[in-house]
Structure 1
C-alpha cells in the first residue's frame, strides 16, 4: 500500500498573514461614554435604548393590534398553503408510484351518492 505525503508549498509565508486587531474607538450609536475609550462588543449589542419610546408619546394600541392580526392571518395563510402543497405532492407521488408499478386503476373516480 502506498503512503501519501502532503504537498509542501515553498511559498508558505505568502499564503498566511497575521492581521493586526485594532479595537474601535468611537462609541456605538445611542451609547454614552468617552469617545476615546474602546467599545466592548457585548455592551453595544445589549444596549436597547434606541428601541425605547418616550413616556410622553401615546401608545397606539389599535395600530399594534391590527398589525398583530395581519401577521397572524398571514401566518395562517402560509400554513394552509404549505399543508395543501404537501398533500398535493403526496397525492401526485402516490399516483405516480401506482402508474410506475404498471397498474391501470390508479385514478380515483368519485361515484355520486344517491
Structure 2
C-alpha cells in the first residue's frame, strides 16, 4: 500500500522576523513637543475626610439585606433542586410503565 503524503510547497512555510516596537506612539500620530501626559488616576478622589462619621447603621442594614438575599437565594436553589429530583423520579416511574407513581397523601381521620 502506498503512503500518501501531502504536497508541501515552499510558499506555505515562511519564517517571519520579529520586529520589536520602537515607537512610543502608534504610527498614525505625530509626536508633539508639548505633548503632556495626564497624571495617573489615584484613589484620593474616593477618600472621605476624617471629619465625616462612618455610617455603621447603614452598613449593618446593607449587610443584613445582603445576607437575607443570600439565604433566600440558597433556599430557593435547594427547593428547586429537590423539586426537579422529585419530578425526575416520578417521570422515571411513569416511563417504566408503573401505575402507582403519584404520591397521594390521605388525610388522617
TM-score band by shorter chain is 0.5 to 0.7
1:74 aligns with 2:76: no
Runs of 4 or more above 2 Å deviation: 1-5, 7-14, 16-22, 25-28, 48-54
Could you tell me how far 1:10 is from its partner in structure 2?
2.4
Find the partner of 1:28 among 22, 40, 51. 40
Separation in structure 2 between the aligned mates of residue 13 and residue 96 of structure 1, nearest angstrom: 61
Question: TM-score if structure 1 supplies the norm length?
Answer: 0.62
Gaps of 5+ in 2: 25-36
Find the partner of 2:49 among 40, 54, 58. 54
Structure number with larger C-alpha Rg: 2
Tell me the number of residue pairs that the alignment of Structure 1 and Structure 2 aligns.
95
CA RMSD of aligned residues (A): 3.6
Gaps of 5+ in 1: 31-47
Give the structure with the higher percent helix.
1
Question: TM-score if structure 2 supplies the norm length?
Answer: 0.65
Following superposition of structure 1 onto structure 2, how do residues 1-114 of structure 1 map, counting pairs within 5 Å?
10=12, 12=14, 20=21, 27-30=39-42, 52-114=47-109
1:5-25 CA distance string (max 9 Å, x none):
6x77627568x9767386xx7
Change (3 A) 1:69 1:10: same
